[in-house]
Structure 1
Amino acid sequence: MEGINGSVNGLLEAQTQIWNHHLSFIKSMVLKCAVQLEIPDAIHNHGGRPMTISQLASALSIHHTRVRYLHQLMRFLVHSGYFAEQEVSPGDGQEKGYVLTDTSRLLLKDSPLSQRPLVLSIGHVMTKSWDYMSQWLQDDSQGIPTPFVMAHGKTVWEHARDEPRFNDSFNEVMASDSVLSTSVVINKCRGVFEGLNSITDVGGGTGCMAKAIAKEFPDVKCAVFDLPHVVTGLKGSKNLKFIGGNMFDEIPHSDAIMLKWVLHDWNDEDCVRILKRCKEAVSRKVIVIDMVLEEKEKSRDQDNINIETQLLYDMQMMAQVTGEERNEKEWAKLFIDAGFSSYKMSHVLGLRSLIELYP
């Protein structure tokens, strides 16, 4: 009987795990709803005091018949760590209200570090790929490189070129990430840029990171190099310019070249091609900002979250582009194959690392 109970308990735990994964898409949709309603901004504008459900409903213009559903929404968001509950009148143990956490502060509309564009980018264009994943894995056609191409008939980059709204959304996501990562890089790795006369940000999008570097280091000549449809119409400054082109063909010469979140988009063969072009164009070093997969034993909850998030991005790369996330051994092989003599890796950007490559 004890053995049977043990088996039953194991089956019930397994069922719970399946349910949890089956419903996990709801996490992103609930978060998108919260950002669309501007819940973080409403609580922020309440003056730092806990905001009750009735006050929040009023601020968000929630219909009176839907207030109880807002309560359900907030219960989930509190559990997920986006908001916290506090007593409205400390010590009375009665009504509670909502306050911001570090996570929800990153979703404020006017925050320079806001991650809103990433949350709002969740939509049919990117999720449709997953409907084709199993078919793509079983398909023997070499002409279909990704599930995204199977779903849309074109690559992500071609879709961005042809669809201005998608292109704008993609660039906003990249820019919002660059603001946060640039501030950390300049603060923690200032020495990476010191002594350089010029730097080219390859795949730098609308130039958010390059602008910050140009401002912080006014003597460094900065350039953003990206596809023509990305940089057309963008205006530079005294020490910043935009250049259209294709990194597989030729990269402008400079002391340093930056590849921020670029290489994980491409397979090994293409990465080596890109890195070889960089080696031809650089005189000092190549600066890579990308994920390095963690491989240590699971211990703390935060370690587990980090590893799972990296693996989720790995799945995203498989579905949307031809790339993947890599561990240090896999990165090192790419660097050697591209002809670089050495590298230095600094784990200072949360899930990502900063890697300096030397010719």
Structure 2
Amino acid sequence: MGSNNGRKASEIFQGQALLYRHMFAFVDSMCLKSIVELGIPNIIHKHGQPITLSELMSILQVPPAKVGHVQSLMRYLAHHGFFERLRIHEKDAYALTAASELLVKGTEPYLAPMVECMLDPTLSASFHQMKKWVYEEDLSVFDISLGSNLWDFLTKNPAYNEIFNEAMASDSQMSNLALRDCKLVFEGLESIVDVGGGTGTTAKIICEAFPNLKCIVFDRPQVVENLLENNNLTYVGGDMFKSIPKANAVLLKWILHDWTDKDCRKILENCKEAISNNSKRGKIIIIDIVINEKQDEHKVTELKLLLDVAMACVLNGKERNEEEWKKLFMEVGLQDYKISPLTGYLSLIEIYP
């Protein structure tokens, strides 16, 4: 029998628990996906009060043999904060929490489309290629699994492209909560271009807050074609690696983490060009992750590092700490910047040429 390297039995058992926790972590994702597909958050919301397990089983028409299994699912998700577990008339009951309220259709923000997109087998199955990805210098797990990068895949598959756009739009709804407290960031601007702005969810939020601000949503032509414009919101199709429409400011929300440093430098150079020659001092506004292991709470750092791995696998991108952001800015002649907290894990970076 092999040596335990002098470790106590308690340490070995803790190691096993950690190993098994990650080994079965995919079940976490599938549990989350299942409650979205079953519509459980919607059922509880419509019920108007905590719902007993028996009432929930009746609405779902769960076969008697599966009631205990669904109870296990609800108990597990309640343990992790997706539901509040209560007792009503000596019966188990469940109420929504801040997390499950985000999955209620018809409310805003609504993140179920994000769950459905990220946990679609087309995307999630690609992570089985991580070993091969390590040895392939330029390929993402998507390249290996599907034979093309994410953006080419979306172009060739309109149905999945629609799912992806809905997911990004749902995530952008969170900006409504964050940006309403950031009015100083946009005050004084006459025009702004939202690069990679998708179907315009974030731009519409900005337009509502600043009716006199001209907003341009800039994305791939197939994303923005046939979208409805208004007096201060327009859509432009194009390639951010070639040029970006002129404006007082450029917004990059959750864009740069998709790309390598080389690609980011090119995007930032085009942003710099887009805001040059303005009568007012232009700026670049970045909404993205800033890794800060020394100051962030453990769970926040855990999420940021997890997303760093995800971006690396899917797009050969990365999440960055402040030093890495600063290096990028200086390499393209952008030396004046300010970082402010925005959401629980995203930061807002203002950069001036």
TM-score, normalization: structure 2?
Answer: 0.94
Q: Secondary structure at the match of 1:330?
A: helix
CA contact (8 A) 2:81 2:99 kept: yes
Residue 293 (1) aligns with residue 291 (2): yes
User: What pairs up with 1:109-188 in 2 under 5 angstroms?
Assistant: 109-121=105-117, 122-139=119-136, 142=137, 144-185=138-179, 187-188=180-181
In the alignment, residue 117 of structure 1 is paired with which amino acid?
A: P
Does structure 2 retain, via aligned residues, the 8 Å contact 1:128–1:148? Answer: no
Q: 2:62 maps to what in 1? A: 62
Task: Map Cα deviations across residues 152-206 of structure 1 (whole Å, 9 max, x no partner).
Answer: 1111000010111211111111111111123311x22111111110000000000
State which of 308, 320, 330 in structure 2 corresponds to 1:326. Answer: 320
Distance 1:228 1:152 in 2: 23
Q: CA deviation at 1:310?
A: 0.7
1:195 is matched with which residue: 168, 188, 200? 188
Quote the offset at 1:19 in angstroms: 0.4
Matched, 1:10 2:8: no
Q: How does 1:308-347 map to 2 (within 5 A)?
A: 308-347=302-341
The equivalent position to 1:350 in structure 2, one of 334, 337, 344, is 344
What residue in structure 2 maps to residue 83 of structure 1? 83
Q: Which of 97, 100, 103 is equivalent to 1:104?
A: 100
1:265 to 254, 258, 270: 258
Question: What SS does the aligned partner of 1:349 have?
Answer: coil
Q: Give the whole-Å Cα distance in 2 for the aligned partners of 1:47 and 1:53.
A: 15
Deviation at 1:53, TM superposition (A): 0.8
Give the superposition deviation at 1:8.
1.5
Amino acid at match of 2:134: L
- Offset of residue 18 of structure 1: 0.5
**Aligned-partner Cα distance in 1 for 2:92–2:65:** 21
Inter-partner Cα distance in structure 2 for 1:332 and 1:201: 22
AA at the equivalent of 2:41: P
Aligned to 1:27: 28
Q: 1:119 to 1:154 in 2, by over 3 A?
A: same
Letter of the aligned partner of 1:102 in structure 2?
A
Please provide the CA RMSD for this pair.
1.6
2:75–2:85 CA contact under 8 A, matched in 1:
no
Q: Residues 233-244 of structure 1 correspond to what in structure 2 (within 5 A)? A: 233-244=226-237
Quick one: percent identity of the two aligned structures?
A: 41
Question: How big is each residue's C-alpha offset from its partner over 1:311-336, in whole Å with a ceiling of 9 and x where there is no partner?
Answer: 11111111110210000010011011
- Per-residue deviation, 1:4: 10
The residue identity in structure 2 corresponding to 1:288 is I
- Give me the whole-angstrom Cα distance separating, in 2, the residues matched to 1:291 and 1:234: 29
Q: 2:272 aligns with which of 275, 279, 283?
A: 279
Report SS of the residue matched to 1:354.
Answer: strand
Change (3 A) 1:155 1:86: same
Deviation at 1:297, TM superposition (A): 6.5
Q: Report the Cα distance in structure 1 between the residues aligned to 2:329 and 2:126, rounded to whole angstroms.
A: 31
- Paired residue secondary structure (2:139): coil
Listed as ranges, the gaps of 5+ residues in structure 2 are none
Q: What is the count of residue pairs matched by the alignment?
A: 344
Task: Give the structure 2 partner of residue 245 of structure 1.
Answer: 238
Provide the secondary structure at the position in 1 that maps to 2:342: strand
Gaps of 5+ in 1: none
AA matched with 1:14: G
What do residues 214-243 of structure 1 show as CA deviations (whole Å, max 9, x unaligned)? 122111111000011111111211110100
Amino acid aligned to 2:242: D
The residue type equivalent to 1:15 in the other structure is Q
State the one-letter code of the partner of 2:292.
E
Letter in 2 for 1:103: A
| CA–CA separation in structure 2 for the residues paired with 1:168 and 1:157 | 13
